[in-house]
Structure 1
Amino acid sequence: MDDVERWWSQGEHCRLRLGGSERSIFRRRMGAGPALSMLHGFPSSSHDWARIADSLAEEHTVLAADFLGFGASAKPREHTYSLHEQADLIEALWAHEQIAATRLVAHDYGVSVAQELLARHAEDALAVELEGVHLLNGGLYPELHRPEPAQTALLDPEQGPKLSAMLNQELFAAALAPSFAPGYDASSDCAEIWHATSRDGGERIAHLLIRYILDRREHGERWTQALEQSDVRLAFTWGMLDPISGAHMAERIRERLGDAPFTALEDVGHWPTLEAPQRVLDSLRRAG
């Protein structure tokens, strides 16, 4: 059994109602103590947190789910995916798990979901108390986001479906590898992310999931305002060699949110929890 399958075997599926439909969502709940909810990135799964989850579960109730369309969760083919719906999913999961208050840790795609949850918090529209938000390498400022060529191709209305249809492990790894730091051997990580992506033919909906980039552009002002004016305690851990949302994004964060704890991982790319899990764990613990 490989590590991704082991991760899934230790979790469960729950049925959550989203937009009038019931969906099967994979989730893992571990440990005991104050709740810590973990939101993964694109195009991967909650397995991104596997290298730090056990340690965090010594002090927290850790809750990690696969978003709709990702990992072991349902992957409807004829569906309009959105970051707002994924935020609805997290709220439904909290209700299902009877979570009243939680810290959030989010990476990449999950960062945008966290921003929508912060916006709902600011509007007093969130039933759960956010006790802190810790963000890792995400497109907080859409105008600074630098999508990889494969992401741009997936967004194209004509090219996107064709690329999804022809996607295989070799092409996937070739597209994903440059997002890791130079010199880092990402082969096993790319294989694990492919395993999660390709479950139930999930690679065939990559062009549908990538629409989150358009969501970011459309709702960027709302989400930026929610972040910069938030009364929730914020912290950041950032892989500075990330070509997508790295040092250039970090510079803006430090300009606009200079009082928030910021841990720069100078030799790390887009995937801090995979490339430097112990340093991420240390940063999360320092931030409290």
Structure 2
Amino acid sequence: MSTILNVLIGVLAVGAAVFLNYPAPPQSPIVYQWQSPGKFMQYKEKNIFYKDELGNGTGTVLCLHGFPTSSFDWYKLWPALKRKFGRVVALDFLGLGFSDKPRFHKYSIFEQASIVEELLQTLQTNKVHILAHDYGDTVAQELIARHLDAAEEKKNYVNVMSLCLLNGGIFPAKHHPRLMQRILVLPLVGTILSKFINYYVFRNALGEVFGPETWPTTAEFRDFWGIIRHNDGYRVLGSLLSYLEERKTNEERWVGGLQKTVLPVHVIYGPADPVNPPEFIEYYRAVIPKPSMTVLPENIGHYPQLEAPEATADAYISFLETISS
């Protein structure tokens, strides 16, 4: 009996070792095309990946992506943004995408906002439109709060021209984290379990937030997973999820910022979103003064820029035209 048990333990140990060291999937041509023109900025000895491309229009747009994905989320919207703007910028937040993913790091929305500020200084641009999604919405809220702080103190700050938010947990009371998020955020338990996430677990967890008719293709899922696996990023997902508690702790600052700002703010919302279900619509309209919102068709979920890129681009450009006219 002891021999069988020893063999079983040995097999499980080998299986776990193979699983934990299984290589990331090869990079697809479309991801390579996205990554290869990108650059890296140093922030406190950490490498931050970003893209900075010229367009055919005017002004600069800064794109802030969501969790657990990356700036690659914008690839379907990128051509439309380059037609509208003269400069299109996107970054991968620390811990995500092609940026460094330090383990045992205390990830914070405040730090991510400081990284954005550093990037804009590096690019020598101080006048931007912000287009954000999910996790990026919260980073944008902190940037707006800093904008207000600077105005009160009569200090110079990033000249934000407008803010457009795609589906995100901007209101903690109306945000419903998925089961996988609630598990990964648990101390110790999340750290251990994050090591055992594989492609199939990831695909099912991420797929939950898409509309029933707009699921990514197998190739798209593998691209998302490959980027998460870059630099063993799946091992820090639990640490990054500290932003869920940060949202609650800083609700007055971040929601208050949206209520107080005089900047043009617009929301593009996909209603088939279990993370931010349709109750979000009326809450937003009740809480935010002069609310501006585009509600997409009912089959569009948490990732409008991937599920309905043309409708999202049209809605965004229409918003920009209203503030420039």
TM-score normalized by the length of structure 1: 0.95
Aligned sequence identity (%): 34
Matching residue's letter, 1:111 = D
Q: Tell me, in whole angstroms, the C-alpha distance in 2 between the residues paired with 1:66 and 1:235.
A: 23
Query: Contact 2:215–2:307 (CA<8 Å) still a contact in 1?
Result: no
Query: Pick from 276, 279, 284: which aligns with 2:311?
Result: 279
| Count of aligned residue pairs for this structure pair | 284
| 1:207-222 matched pairs, under 5 angstroms | 207-222=238-253
Distance of 2:117 and 2:156 partners within structure 1: 8
Query: Within 5 Å, which residues of 2 pair with 1:1-288?
Result: 1-16=28-43, 21-32=44-55, 33-60=58-85, 61-124=87-150, 127-188=157-218, 189-257=220-288, 259-265=290-296, 266-288=298-320
3-state secondary structure, aligned to 1:57: helix
The CA distance in 2 between the partners of 1:245 and 1:10, in whole Å, is: 34
Measured in 1, the distance between the counterparts of 2:156 and 2:30 equals 34
2-structure distance, mates of 1:248, 1:163: 32
Whole-Å Cα distance in 2 between the matches of residues 48 and 282 of structure 1? Answer: 17
Mapped to 2, the partners of 1:180 and 1:82 lie a distance apart of 26
Secondary structure of the corresponding residue to residue 268 of structure 2: strand
1:178 maps to amino acid: E
Following TM superposition, by how much is the alpha carbon of 1:192 offset from its aligned partner in structure 2, in angstroms?
A: 2.1
Q: Quote the offset at 1:82 in angstroms.
A: 0.4
Aligned partner of residue 46 in structure 2, secondary structure: strand
Q: Secondary structure at the match of 1:58?
A: helix
SS of equivalent to 1:179: coil
1:68: Cα distance to partner? 0.4
Local SS of the residue matching 1:123: helix
Q: Distance in 1 between matches of 2:288 and 2:255?
A: 11
Decide whether the 8 Å contact of 1:4 with 1:195 is kept in 2: no
Aligned-CA RMSD value: 1.3
Quote the offset at 1:258 in angstroms.
Answer: 5.8
Q: Which runs of 5+ in 2 are unaligned?
A: 1-27, 321-325
Which amino acid in the other structure matches residue 183 of structure 2?
A
Letter aligned with residue 49 of structure 1: W
SS in 2 for 1:76: coil
**One-letter code of the match for 2:161?**
E
Residues 137 and 246, structure 1, Cα contact 8 Å, conserved in 2: no
Is residue 31–residue 58 contact of structure 1 (8 Å, CA) maintained in 2? no
Secondary structure in structure 2 of the residue aligned to 1:77: coil
Cα separation, partners in 2 of 1:176 and 1:78, compared to 1, 3 Å: same
Query: What are the ranges of 5 or more consecutive residues in structure 1 without an aligned counterpart?
Result: none
Give the Cα–Cα distance (whole angstroms) in 2 for the partners of residues 96 and 197 of structure 1: 26
Scaled by the length of structure 2, the TM-score of the pair is 0.84
